[in-house]
Structure 1
Amino acid sequence: MIVAESPSRVVWSSLWARRPDALVQFDLLTGRGGTDLRWTLLVEEPLPDESLTGHIRKRIGTLINANLRYTYGQ
């Protein structure tokens, strides 16, 4: 973790050796009876190609969505 602004923002350092500049920013927003989570990939130029972008999206989706579901036994 690089930045934490409780309760609204967290920034993770890169998870990818090929792109050490790639940061993941999580914004936590008050939602309908709970909290909405939005994540944004922040990278420097050059932008990752389509293949790497797909890999990054899948990896973050697994870390955030699938692993969270597993903690609730789903």
Structure 2
Amino acid sequence: MLAPAAPPRLGLVIEFGSRARKLPAPPAVVWESLVDRSWLALLADETEPTVIAAEKPARVVWSSLWADRATDEIHFDLTPAADGGTLARFTLLTPGEAPDESKTGHLRRRLNQLLFADLRYSYGQ
């Protein structure tokens, strides 16, 4: 069983990326997907994230997907949408130095792909 949600384990943090878009599934289903991660297809430079915290159905926190950014965290906030879907927001946080502009773009683009394409397609849309 997952531990109840805790405040971010990071002390002073820098937010270096965030995006919100709609997913067709309701928040409880998206939450389960983020906790289960069976849909997650990782690239060679990525590692399986650990679920650090989870509060059903509104919040999930993952460890970093990238070994070279091991102290980063990915926070997911899930809000019900009027059409029965979910407004899903990811936020990239780090206790260290924010990556340069090129790396930041790569990490944000990759999370966009994972969440708003791969996860969306796992729901058949």
**For the superposition of Structure 1 and Structure 2, which TM-score range results when normalised by the shorter chain?**
0.7 to 0.9
What residue number does 2:62 align with?
12
- Equivalent residue of 1:32, what SS? coil
Unaligned runs of 5+ in 1: none
Please list the CA deviations of residues 20-71 of structure 1 after superposition, one character each: whole Å capped at 9, or x if unmatched: 0111100011222332111100112211110110110111011111112432
Q: How does 1:1-74 map to 2 (within 5 A)?
A: 1-34=51-84, 35-71=86-122, 72=124
Comparing 63-72 and 1-10, the one that deviates more: 63-72
How many residues were matched structurally?
73
- Equivalent residue of 1:59, what SS? helix
| TM-score, normalization by structure 1 | 0.87
- Equivalent residue of 2:119, what SS? helix
Unaligned runs of 5+ in 2: 1-50
What residue number does 2:40 align with?
none
- State the alpha-carbon separation in 1 of the partners of residues 106 and 113 from structure 2: 11
- State the alpha-carbon separation in 2 of the partners of residues 11 and 22 from structure 1: 11
| TM-score, normalization by structure 2 | 0.54
What residue number does 2:24 align with?
none
- State the alpha-carbon separation in 1 of the partners of residues 121 and 57 from structure 2: 24
- State the alpha-carbon separation in 2 of the partners of residues 38 and 47 from structure 1: 19
- State the alpha-carbon separation in 1 of the partners of residues 111 and 69 from structure 2: 14
CA-based RMSD of the aligned residues comes to: 1.3
